[in-house]
Amino acid sequence: MSKWAVPQSVSPLDLAFGGNMGKLLPPMRDIPADFHSFNNPWVRCVGTWFTVGLANPVFYPKPGIDRRDAMGHMKAILMSFEPKHEHKSAGCAYLMSLWFEKVEWDGGSVNGVDLKPTQPPQDQTPLDSQDTGAAQGGRE
C-alpha cells in the first residue's frame, strides 16, 4: 500500500498553520506528470477551492477513506507556508484523486456524470462551509 493511499488525521494546529509537509505532501517527483497541469480536472478543482471556494460541495470518498481526515489533510497542505503553490496544488489534486470517487459543487464536478450536484450518499451529508472554505486565503 502506498504511503499516500490513506489520509492522515491532522491536529487543529496543523489546520491553522499547515502540518509537516514531509508527512502530508508527496514530493513533486512522486506526483504523476498530468497533475502538474491546470488541464487536469482535479487540479482545476483544487484551484477553484483554493481561490474562491466550492459552492455547496459534496465529496464522495472511496471505500475505506475517512472524509474528514481527507479534508483536514488537504486543508493542512493548502494552509502551509511551504512549499510553492504549484507543488501544493499538484499534491492536493493527486491526493484528492486517490481518496475521492468524485467531487461535485454548484457549477462543476470532477468525475461526475453531470455538472449539477446530486444528493449526497445516504450515510453522508455535504460538508459545511467551515470544512470546505478554509482553504480560501491559504498561503503560498
pLDDT single digits (tens) 38-89: 888 999 899 888 888 888 889 999 999 999 999 999 999 988 888 888 999 9
For 55, phi then psi, to 5°, come to -80, 120
- Residue 85's alpha-carbon distances to 50, 56, 62, in angstroms, are 10, 24, 26
Q: How many residues are present in the chain?
A: 140
Q: Is the pTM of this model over 0.75?
A: yes
pLDDT tier at 116, thresholds 50, 70, 90: very low
94 and 29 in contact (C-beta within 8 Å)? no
C-alpha cell at 59: 465529496
> Is the pLDDT score of 131 beyond 90?
no
Residue 41: alpha-carbon gap to chain centroid: 12
- The whole-number pLDDT of residue 1 equals 62
Q: What is the mean pLDDT of the chain?
A: 81
